[in-house]
Chains A and B, each alone.
Chain A
Amino acid sequence: MAESALHIENLVKRYPTGVEALRGVSLDIAPGELFALLGPNGAGKSTLIHCTTGLAQPTSGSIAVFGHDAIHDYSAARQAVGLAPQELNLDWFLTVEETLDYHAGYFGMPKRERRERTRELLETFSLTEKRDERTRTLSGGMKRRLILARAMMHRPRLLILDEPTAGVDVELRLELWHYVQRINQEGTTILLTTHYLEEAEQLCDRIAFIDEGGIVGEGTSAELAARYGVANLEDAYLALVGRNELSRSRIEVTAS
Chain B
Amino acid sequence: MSAAQIRFATLWRREVNRFMKIKKQTLGAPLLETFLYITVFGAALGSRIKELHGIEYVIFVIPGLIMMSFAINSFANNSSSILQQKFQGAIQDQLSSPASPLELLLAFSLGGFMRGLIVAGLTFVAASLLTSLPVDHLLVLLPSLFLVGFFFSQLGVLTGVRAEQFDDVAFVQTFVLTPLIFLGGVFYSASLLPQPFETLTHFNPIYYMINLVRYGFVGFTEVSVALSLLALAAATGALFAINLRLFTKGYKLRA
Contacts and interface: CB of A to CB of B under 8 A. Distances in A.
Given A89-B90, A93-B21, A106-B10, A54 B4 contact: no
A91 B93 CA distance: 9
Contacts of A110: 1, 6
B254 interface: yes
Nearest to B21: A93
A90 B4 CA distance: 23
A78 B254 CA distance: 15
Contact of A75 (B6, B13, B84, B98): B98
Interface in A51-95: 53-57, 74-76, 78-79, 81, 83, 85, 87, 89-94
Most chain B beta-carbon neighbours within 10 Å: one of A90, A93, A103, A109 = A93
B7 interface: yes
Contacts of A53: 96
B23 interface: no
Contacts of A55: 92, 95-96, 254-255
Interface in B1-36: 1-4, 6-7, 9-11, 13-14, 17-18, 21-22
Contacts of B3: 107-109
B195 interface: no
A81 B10 CA distance: 19
A150 B10 contact: no
A90 B96 contact: no
A111 B13 CA distance: 13
A78 B97 contact: yes
A78 B98 contact: yes
B90 A57 contact: no
Interface string B91-103: 0111111111000
B89 interface: yes
A107 B96 CA distance: 10
A163 to B, nearest CB: 14
B100 A75 contact: yes
A106 B1 contact: no
Contact of B250 (A57, A76, A85, A107): A57
B255 A107 contact: no
Nearest to A150: B93
Contact of B93 (A47, A74, A103, A109): A103
Task: Report, nearest first, the 5 A-B pairs whose CB atoms are least far apart.
Answer: A105-B10, A108-B3, A89-B89, A106-B97, A91-B90
Interface of A: 15, 47, 50, 53-57, 74-76, 78-79, 81, 83, 85, 87, 89-94, 98, 102-103, 105-111, 150
Interface of B: 1-4, 6-7, 9-11, 13-14, 17-18, 21-22, 84-85, 88-90, 92-100, 250, 254-255
